[in-house]
Amino acid sequence: MIYGQYEALASFYDGLNPDVDYKEWADFVEDIFKKYGKIETKMVLDLACGTGSMSVELAKKGYEVIGVDLSPEMLMISQQKAYDEGQSILFLNQDMCEIDLYGTVDACVCCLDSVNYVTEKERLKKCFSLVNNFMNDGGLFIFDVNTPHKFKNTYGNNAYILENENVLCAWQNSFDENTGICEFDLSFFVEGEDGLYERFDEEQVEKMYTDQEVRTLLNECSFEVLGVFSDYKYKEQRENDERWYYVCRANNKNK
């Protein structure tokens, strides 16, 4: 059976991404709050929160957190993870380009190239605009993107195998440099208690954005780009980076 984005992957997501250090990432986010914050950060939106790992880490640091994600399957895991960690987090099942919060937040984080999953520039602009709309003036917007270098050289038309204890993922890419669209065909082989494997197929799509395209959209949505970095040590961005981390501030509010 072929599933939509993250419908099948949700159960395997954390196991297939064991190298992501969310604690270190959350430390970086908190350091950004201290380094660039003009207002006190209390309420944080975790946009496209996935399985809630970043939401939980930020909640542990004492922030009030709202997690938003399109996938009900991901949010089920998020809620259980927050419960297991003793954290009270509000999770909302919403499209990141259609967010509708009950109030404003002091900061927003959006992790693991979720921005690249918005494959239309006008929808990405709408996403940025809504983040600004629900953010207090001077609040920080922190997100990362997969770079053009990664799309062209790491993704490309390459194939990969990811493996965990009881699941194997066969991953085939198809990248069109003219449109910037990369299609991922994922096949999961999951071992059952009887030793037999069950197959699940899922299709995902990401879009490559240039740095200039991202900066232009942010500017049009009243965000000031404070810095774009290669890592958690504030190393300046380079063309051969695979990931860029954007730090932006909401300005020019007309509320």
Q: What is the pLDDT of residues 207-236, one digit of tens each?
A: 999 999 999 999 999 999 999 999 999 999
CA distance 169 to 206: 18
Burial class of residue 149 (count of CB atoms within 10 Å of its CB; 0-12, 13-18, 19+): middle
What is the pLDDT at residue 4? 43
Q: What is the mean pLDDT of residues 54-71?
A: 97
CA distance 46 to 182: 25
Query: 150-207 architecture in CATH?
Result: Single Sheet (2.20)
Question: Residue 11 — very low, low, confident or very high, per pLDDT cuts 50/70/90?
Answer: low
pLDDT at 205 over 70: yes
**Between 177 and 13, where is the model more confident?**
177
Query: Which of 36-50, 191-205, 222-236 has the weakest average pLDDT?
Result: 191-205
pLDDT at 1 over 70: no
CA distance 247 to 254: 21
CA distance 127 to 132: 9
Q: What is the pLDDT of residues 127-142, one digit of tens each?
A: 999 999 999 999 999 9
Helices (H), 85-174: 121-133, 148-149
Which residue is it, tokens 């059952």? 192
What is the pLDDT at residue 162? 83
What is the pLDDT at residue 183? 97
**Between 228 and 193, where is the model more confident?**
228
What is the pLDDT at residue 3? 38
What does the DSSP 8-state code read for residue 102? S
Name the residue ranges covered by the structural domains of the chain: 17-146+210-250, 150-207
- CATH 3.40.50.720: does it fit domain 17-146+210-250? no
pLDDT at 19 over 60: yes
The 3-state secondary structure of 228-240 reads EECCCCCCECCCC
CA distance 156 to 150: 8
pLDDT at 12 over 80: no
Q: What is the pLDDT of residues 90-100, one digit of tens each?
A: 999 999 999 99
244 within 8 A of 144, measured Cβ to Cβ: yes
Give percent of the chain with pLDDT exceeding 90.
78
What is the pLDDT at residue 191? 79
Give percent of the chain with pLDDT exceeding 70.
91
Q: Half-sphere exposure of 159 toward its Cβ, with a 13 Å CA cutoff? A: 6
83: which residues sit within 8 A by CB, 6+ positions away? none
The per-residue pLDDT of the chain, averaged, comes to 92
Q: Which helix (H) or strand (E) holds 239?
A: none
Q: Which helix (H) or strand (E) holds 61?
A: none
What is the pLDDT at residue 2? 37
Question: Residue 255 — very low, low, confident or very high, per pLDDT cuts 50/70/90?
Answer: very low
CA distance 100 to 245: 25
